[in-house]
Amino acid sequence: MPPIAAKWVVRAGFAATALCFAVGAAERPATVADVVVLVKTGVAHRQGDSSLARALEKLEPIDRLDDRVVEELESLGAGPKTVGALVNLRDRSSRMPPANPRPEFDSPPAPTALQQSQAINLAAHAAAQYLAGLPDFICEEWVRRYEDWGSRGRWREKDLLEIKLTYFDLYVDRDTGETLRVNQIADSIPEDFPVTAASTRLDYDFVSVGGRQFLLPLHAEVRLTSREISTRNEVEFRGYRKFSGESKITFEPTGKL
């Protein structure tokens, strides 16, 4: 989803102090509050996405970074590499104590039960209409598989799988009810289970198929973390095109009966 623009008024003295903290934070264990300050400072000063991600990869989390904080920082303008580094910190800290105090953000209040119900009904209606108008189509699924031995954020590409597909759970647009993103995060994993964290993120966008625009899956990321290794699969959906076929029936004369 597009980042939400944020306005910052920073005095020169504070800016210098914040940047020094950001550099120092990469050299020591960090709380969730440290991570939030680091990312906010980097975004406010337009630090490069790769540079900010590398700074986050050097941190050693000491409390739990939850998905809410990752999403709030993404909304403030964190780039895709920075978000990936934040997700890695989230997975590495999944068994740590929760952040105290809990980070606060200047974001809209949580929807009421009535608003949630209305949003679900709107999304269900939009999905039913969407599926009714969706043509048969084909596309290609590309899966890049990565491994991180030691779960330290040092990802190495393992291989690339190309899968042919013939087919055509959630963030929804507030006004239209259309699905924009699906996030799935494993919760309450048993302590003795080999997997300590598991998550899936699926992003949708509009794609032209047969001369019309359809909201379709474009990118997904699947992460699994164990005590010894982390794996990350990046999935791309490409080459959407309308599925069609032609048939011709002819009748040949068989002679007189």
Cα radius of gyration rounded to whole Å, the chain: 23
Nearest alpha-carbon partner for 176 in 122, 251, 216, 228: 122
pTM: 0.51
Rounded CA-CA distance 184/199 in Å is: 5
* Together in a domain, 190 and 122: yes
**224 in a structural domain:** yes
* Together in a domain, 21 and 117: no
* Together in a domain, 180 and 126: yes
| pLDDT for res 231 | 86
* Together in a domain, 20 and 79: yes
Q: What is the pLDDT of residues 99-108, one digit of tens each?
A: 999 999 988 8
**Is 147 within 8 Å of 230 (Cβ atoms)?**
yes
Domain with 229 in it: 113-242
pLDDT greater than 50 at residue 54 = yes
Q: What is the pLDDT of residues 73-124, one digit of tens each?
A: 998 999 999 998 998 899 889 889 999 999 999 888 878 888 888 887 887 7
**88 in a structural domain:** yes
pLDDT greater than 50 at residue 5 = no
* Together in a domain, 134 and 226: yes
Rounded CA-CA distance 189/241 in Å is: 40
If you search the block for the tokens 């019309």, which residue do you land on?
212
Q: Which residues contact 242 (CB under 8 A, 6 or more apart)?
A: 135, 136, 137, 209, 210
**Is 111 within 8 Å of 119 (Cβ atoms)?**
yes
**85 in a structural domain:** yes
- Kindly report whether the peptide bond that precedes residue 101 is cis, defined as omega within 30 degrees of 0: yes
Lowest mean pLDDT among 4-8, 168-172, 209-213: 4-8
* Together in a domain, 82 and 118: no
**2 in a structural domain:** no
* Together in a domain, 118 and 87: no
Rounded CA-CA distance 73/71 in Å is: 5
Number of domains in the chain: 2
**104 in a structural domain:** no
**254 in a structural domain:** no
| pLDDT for res 182 | 78
